[in-house]
Amino acid sequence: MNDAVAAPAGQSWKVTLPCTRAEAEALDGDIAAFALMDRPPVLMTSEASPDDEDQWQLDAYFEGKPSAAAVKLLKTLVPSASRTKPAIEQLPDEEWVTISQQGLEAVTAGRFHVRNLASDPEAPGHVNLLIEASRAFGTGQHETTAGCLAMLDRMRRVGMRYRNVADIGTGTGLLAFAALNLWPRAHAIASDIDPVAVEISADNAHANGVMLGSGAGQLALVTAAGADHAAIIGRAPYDLLIANILAGPLIELAPSLCALVEDGGTIVLAGLLNGQADAVLAAYRAQGMRLAERSDRGDWPTLRLRKRPRIGWKRPQRLRANARGEAPGFGSI
């Protein structure tokens, strides 16, 4: 999920508030309150004092100076700090996502074990992937990414097979890597609107032994807004399309994404909140999709949709190699 990208030099800010241990644990991995923001902050909690196990702090990393409304919303997450003046500081010219992601714990979802640091131990019996802290999001820690990993794993376990995969809004490339691990003979393409994320995905592919290219078992990477790229359109139709972005873009992209999927094909959607699921589903049902499975992690659902096969005169027909462009039964002799 490409939630955010590197902030321009000198535009990274941090807001710090004290909190209790209970408040910190309740916030673990949860940014639902900021989900409607274009650039939601990254929330980190840590022990503030080694001598007091209940004294913790909340650090929120913002791309750009946080507004008064954002700071006010942040304070609602830690009621014990309601009367405390937050510490607000501009960070040095460093990669803010890298700073905020350092030290994140490894995450296991299905057969996948995603490490954030090379020094973290691998998990025996799992597919181990290394997605180090970087300038792009999608390290597996967020419920949306972990939910997609678990969904893809479950799809493979029940025997689903795919040969042509697209990952729209790939972030770090993680979900595309997982899909190629599950279906190693598939063709795969991953895109992101941010060229930095595409660069990061290429680096991560190399670190995880994923071959880049256009052949079977290889991953093609492109910079694109949604599905607006000749390479994405040219490789269609897809039997599996993954889009882990936000609810607004998912709704806006519904016609173009569904058009890329073959009859009977699958779309996996994530990045939306529980309260946004009905609107997202309505947009995709209008394009001939049906809900096949839903899995929730906290406030974040992952949706598996299947494209309804069209029948009769609406069903597309592929020409045989020796065909003359005639459709028997529809006026041809």
Those residues whose C-beta lies under 8 Å from the C-beta of residue 208, and which sit 6 or more positions away, are 129, 130, 177
Instruction: Give, as one character, the DSSP assignment of residue 311.
Output: -
Q: Give Cα separations from 300 to 131, 157, 207, 277 (angstroms).
A: 21, 22, 29, 9
d(C-alpha 27, C-alpha 205), whole Å: 31
- Establish whether 98 is an annotated binding residue: no
Q: Are 149 and 114 in contact (CB under 8 A)?
A: yes
d(C-alpha 178, C-alpha 23), whole Å: 33
- Establish whether 244 is an annotated binding residue: yes
The enclosing H or E element of 61 equals strand 55-63
- Establish whether 192 is an annotated binding residue: yes
Q: DSSP 3-state assignment of 183?
A: coil
Q: Are 231 and 189 in contact (CB under 8 A)?
A: yes
Amino acid letter, 294: R
Amino acid letter, 209: G
Look at residues 260, 264, 200 and name the one whose alpha carbon lies nearest to residue 231.
260
- Establish whether 167 is an annotated binding residue: no
Q: DSSP 3-state assignment of 179?
A: helix
Q: Strand 112-115 and strand 127-130: pairing?
A: parallel
Binding residues: 145, 169, 192, 244
* Residue stretches of the annotated binding site for S-adenosyl-L-methionine: 145, 169, 192, 244
